[in-house]
Amino acid sequence: MGFMINSMVVVLLILYVIWILKPIFEKASSIKIQLFLSSVTVIHFSAALFFAYFLEHLTTVNDPINFYNNAVETTNWFSLFNLGSSFISFLIYPFVKLGISIEVLFLVFSTISFKGILMYFELIGIDDLAKKNILLLLFYLVPSFHFWTGFLGKEALLLWLMVLLLKKIKMNTYDWWLFPIGGLLFLIRPHVFFVLLVAIVILFFTDSRFNKRLKTNVVLIGFLSILVLLPVFLKFFLRIETLDSSSIQLYITNFLEITSNRGNTAISLTETTIFTRIFYLVLMPLPFLYDIKNTFQWVVAIENIYFLVALIAGGIYIFKNSKKKYSLSNDLKFAGISAVLLIILFGSYLYNLGLGNRMRIMFFPYLFYFLIQMTNKKQHIKKFND
């Protein structure tokens, strides 16, 4: 029975992937774009299958097993309802009880993130990109991007939700769908939710097209959301039982002790500055600057060489055109602000390079969206004089 159910799910996933890929593939203006889409598809699902197959050997990445086992061992579904990792177990509970295997759940989550990737390509207008964007487009072929979004975990859902949010902002459709999107973001990674909420408030507050009343309402909603949800975050995510300054200070002290020299690529929070940790977060390890010890670190180091070149090239282009007076579209403002705020957030508590490689999935898509659109002459930037 279990084999039949799992086989049916796999067939349905394959049909769904073909269904969502076919329209964008047919609209592709050139064989190069079609090859690019095919490469992304193959790499994405190959990474998911590779991760699932070697899961037991990846001792440093045990989240999928924990999510699955929690769902298997629990008899009360609603006891799993909580923030963060427990919420993933809550989501997969019905499927686990139906007999869906962890390998098939990998494919389910990788399909969700793949849907997000395709929506992302539609937002950047992949057919209209100039040749100079090819360097930046290579980001979507980077193995670690698909490794972290192709497995049973939070990143797959986050990618999809963050692309949905970006799409709503680009289309200027500020409707009630923002609430379930925000709610799911909060349940999965509440600290990311707070950053994106602040980015939206800044976006509205700085946009002259919105009237004063609307700006006031958005700021008020943002303030009330933080006021209500911050205690929930502290109590149920950080596990701070009593919400007072001494308890928070004790949590910080314990966090510094727990994360001290944690893992093979540990970063000391007390002996580094936030600027050093941001550098480590975005670009390390790099050959000759870090003692690379295994194959996985070499793969990441090669990726980081690409990131360094891409960021320098994008930065130079933007700097050379910085004297021109432009009015950034809302999606670009939001992507840029969110990426910067997320980098600062993660850099503030980065204690392990492996963790940093995973954190990038939550800001690199927005950062590369910003860079690609900024270097694309047909993107939505208008001169003040137009």
pLDDT value of position 130: 54
User: Domain map of the chain by residue range?
Assistant: 1-183, 189-258, 264-386
Judged against a pLDDT cut of 60, whether residue 319 lies above it is answered with yes
pTM recorded for the entire structure: 0.90
Inter-residue contact 370 to 339 (CB < 8 Å):
yes
Query: Does residue 383 register a pLDDT over 70?
Result: no
pLDDT of residue 385 exceeding 50, the answer is no
Please state, in angstroms and rounded to a whole number, the distance separating the CA atoms of residues 136 and 194: 28
Q: What is the mean pLDDT of residues 81-93?
A: 92
Average pLDDT over residues 290-317: 89
Pair of tokens at residue 380: 């939505």
The whole-number pLDDT of residue 162 equals 96
Contact partners, residue 4, CB within 8 Å, separation at least 6: none
Rounded CA separation 193/162 (Å): 10
Question: Chain-wide mean pLDDT for the chain?
Answer: 87
Question: Using one digit for the tens of pLDDT, what is the confidence trace for 103-135?
Answer: 999 999 999 999 999 999 999 887 766 555 778
Confidence at residue 320, expressed as pLDDT on a 0 to 100 scale: 79
Question: Which stretch of 122-126, 143-147, 341-345 has the lowest confidence by average pLDDT?
Answer: 122-126
pLDDT value at 325 more than 70: no
Tens digits of residue pLDDT in 151-162: 888 999 999 999
Percent of the chain with pLDDT over 70: 92
Mean pLDDT of the region 323-331: 74
Determine the pLDDT at residue 279: 95
Flag whether pLDDT at 43 surpasses 90. Answer: yes
Q: Rounded to an integer, what distance in angstroms lies between the CA atom of residue 38 and that of residue 44?
A: 10
Mean pLDDT, residues 262-272: 83
